[in-house]
Each structure stands twice: as C-alpha cells, then as structure tokens.
Amino acid sequence: MNRKLLITLFIATLACVTYSCKKIIPSVDPARCEHATDGLIVKKWASAFIQTDTYNSSGTKTNTSFDHPAGFIQFKNDATYTIVSDGILVNGSWLFDHNCNLALTAGGSTGVTFEVVTLTTDSLIIRKKVNNLVVTQHFGAYSCSYQPYMVKKWVNTYIQQDNYSSDGATVVSSNLIYPIGFFELNSDSTYRVVSNNVPLNGKWSMNIDKCDLTLDAGTSLARTFEIVKASADSLIIRRKAGNVAYIQHYKAYNCPTLAQLEQQWDNIDIRTDYVTNGTLSGSNYIYPTGYFKLNANLSYNVLSSGATLDGSWLLLDQSHGCPLVLDQATSLERSFDIIKITSDSLTIYREDIINQSAYTQRYKKH
C-alpha cells in the first residue's frame, strides 16, 4: 500500500478525496459507549504499526503489509486530538458516534470513523475499511522511554521542512535539507551543535511528562522539540515555528577505529569560519602544502607549508563523543571532532570559543 494512502487514513485529512465522508454529529454522550466509560481513550498513544489487508472481489484476503510510522496520537479532555505521523502533524476533534465508533474530524464538519477493535489501559486498535482494503492501526500506551538514549552524539542525516497553509492545517510543500554536522547532548545538560560549519552551544533539558526537548530554556533562543522517536541508533525531533515545521533526523555517531586514523593524511584545505552566537559572519580558506601523520605509537607529525610540529594523539571513547585529542595535558592541547572519515579522506573540526572561530580541516589519504 502506498505511503500517501496510509498517511491519509492515519491523519484523516484527505478523507473526502479518498473515500466518502459523512457529517459527524456530536450528539452522543461518550459515557454511553462502553469504550469510554472510564476515560481510557483520553491519553497519548504511541504508534506501533499499521496492518493493511487487501481483499479480492470475492472477499478473500490476497495480501497483508505492515508499516511502522514514527509518532503518536493524543486524545485530550476538551475533545480535541493531535497526531504526529512521520513528522506530519494534524489537529482536529474527536468523539464517539451513535454506534460508539471513534470519529475524527480534521478541522471541519466532515471526518473519518474508525471501528474500535481494542481499548485497554495499554492498547488501542482501530480499524477502517476502504474499498478492498482493511487498515488496522495499532497503538501502545505512550511513555517517555526515550531518556536513556538521549545523552550521546548524533550525526545529521536530513531535515524535512514542511510548509503549512495560512490556517496551519495543511502541508502545502515539503523539502529536504542535508546539513553536515552533529548534535551532541552531554550528561551535564550542555549541548553542542555543528551544522554546515556553524557551531552553537547551550543548555538542554527534557520534560518527562510531555516528552519534549528544550534547548536554551529561559533565553531568547529557547526552542522546544517534540521527541518523535529515539532509540539506540536513531533520533527524530520536531519543531513548528509559525507555519513551518522542521523534522530533524539523526543517527548515532560511531567512533572510527585507531586503524582508520593511523595514516598519513595529505593537506587539502583549512576553512576558518567566524561565528558569533550561532551566526556566521565570514569565512576564508587556506591551502597549506604538507601532511598530518597519525602514527601507530600514538605520536603525530605535521608538515604545513614548511612548518613542522610533532606531538602525541589519542582518540577518546564513545561516551566522550569520540574526539581526536592532540597533545593532551599540555599547553598545546586541542580537540577535534571527526566530521567524516572514509578509506581515502578525513575531515576534522575544531571550535575556538575564545576567538569565536571554527576550523574545518580536510585531508586525503597519502
């Protein structure tokens, strides 16, 4: 089943295009429905999976497929709901109709009605038949189980930017951005961001009840993200500002091995960026001749346009974000983030907070 139809069924936005709609009349007391007598429905439910069964004209099942959207559905006491599904957000109203089925609207008088298959304290299963398809959506009780995964270094994969209509209800366009860098959350509640050579540092906090992430709380830069997904190897966070939503996708940073680093790396260029409070004010490049050699005995040798420098190096472990440290415990100590390493290239990054500069150094294998 294609993704567009799954999302359509899930968020009930294009309902009238996909199948016939009916007017939902909020004339039934929810207490009359067995499903809602103890208010089980009013909570936040985490997406588990969607099962789609396809039937032929004689009613025989011919195919079953599964989808695992990241997100949740939250039913609120004021009869409104919020859905996030793979970064797409929809708000509307909900009620139990005269047949005690779950009816969702998407901001108007028309909507979609689902049969409630299961409703317990920890499980919600709803089902909708559409022509020859039966779509069954499974949810589990939502809990902020993401906290153990948050404190680590995350690598940028991409940002999905969704642009909404003026009423904030419909996504009118989307585009993908692929910034180079990382997002590091430290155990001392500090964070570091590098995105296309621009660094930003500050404080982070997490609200366990709401399961959201706030950067720079109490400052003019404060911004809060919904945690859509977090696991040992993946992080998705979402923030909406005005009529634009940003869904930021990361993967866990994996340390390089010593064997990968123990090479002679020939200079390509050094980029210097001048940055103040996360704003880039200028850049310049130099192209030194020479090399950066990391030896197996943890010594290094540098030749840069005739100047030489020798010293010691080490690679800190995953819990420290895997930085490459030169001349530790000396007056020359400096730490580099390894932005990229391949079989034939190395890119390292260092921020100089005192001089409000950032250096990106690129090398190729000798």
> In angstroms, rounded to a whole number, what is the distance separating the alpha carbons of residues 337 and 322?
7
151: its two tokens: 């404190």
Q: Residue 279 has what pLDDT?
A: 79
Residues 29 and 79 in one domain: yes
Range of the domain at 287: 258-365
Quote the number of domains for the chain.
Answer: 3
Among 78, 107, 141, the domain-final residue is 141
The single-letter code of the amino acid at 275 is V
Residues 20 and 125 in one domain: yes
Residues 160 and 211 in one domain: yes
CATH number for the domain spanning 340: value is 2.40.128.280
Residues 65 and 95 in one domain: yes
Q: Residue 46 has what pLDDT?
A: 84
Residues 238 and 285 in one domain: no
Long-range contacts from 310-315, C-beta under 8 angstroms, 24+ separation:
315/255, 315/256, 315/258, 315/261
Residues 235 and 286 in one domain: no
Residue of 99, 111, 128 lying closest to 34 (CA atoms)? 99
To which H or E segment does residue 302 belong? Answer: strand 299-304
> In angstroms, rounded to a whole number, what is the distance separating the alpha carbons of residues 48 and 41?
16
Residues 10 and 136 in one domain: yes
pLDDT, tens digit only, all 366 positions of the chain:
334 333 444 443 333 333 333 433 333 454 556 665 556 788 888 888 899 999 998 889 999 998 888 778 988 888 888 887 776 777 888 888 777 788 888 655 557 889 888 888 888 999 999 889 999 999 988 777 777 889 999 999 999 998 888 776 678 888 999 999 999 999 899 999 999 888 899 999 988 777 789 999 999 989 999 888 888 899 999 998 888 989 999 999 999 999 999 999 999 999 999 987 777 889 999 999 999 999 999 999 999 999 999 999 999 998 889 999 999 999 999 999 999 999 999 999 999 888 889 999 999 999
Residues 208 and 191 in one domain: yes
- 226: how many CB neighbours lie within 10 A of its CB? 21
Q: Residue 69 has what pLDDT?
A: 81
Residues 227 and 279 in one domain: no
Q: Residue 353 has what pLDDT?
A: 82
Among 101, 118, 141, the domain-final residue is 141
Residue of 170, 199, 30, 18 lying closest to 101 (CA atoms)? 30
Asked whether the whole model's pTM tops 0.75, one would answer no
Among 227, 252, 277, the domain-final residue is 252
Residues 18 and 129 in one domain: yes
Residues 243 and 317 in one domain: no
CATH number for the domain spanning 231: value is 2.40.128.370
Instruction: Give start and end residues of each alpha helix (H) in 178-292.
Output: 258-261
> In angstroms, rounded to a whole number, what is the distance separating the alpha carbons of residues 114 and 96?
10
The single-letter code of the amino acid at 94 is W
> In angstroms, rounded to a whole number, what is the distance separating the alpha carbons of residues 306 and 317?
33
Q: What is the DSSP letter of 320?
A: G
Q: Residue 16 has what pLDDT?
A: 33
Residues 56 and 174 in one domain: no
Exposure string (b/e) for 150-182, b if CB count within 10 Å is 16 or more? ebbbbbbeebbbbebeeeebebeeeeeeebebb
Q: Are 106 and 88 in contact (CB under 8 A)?
A: no
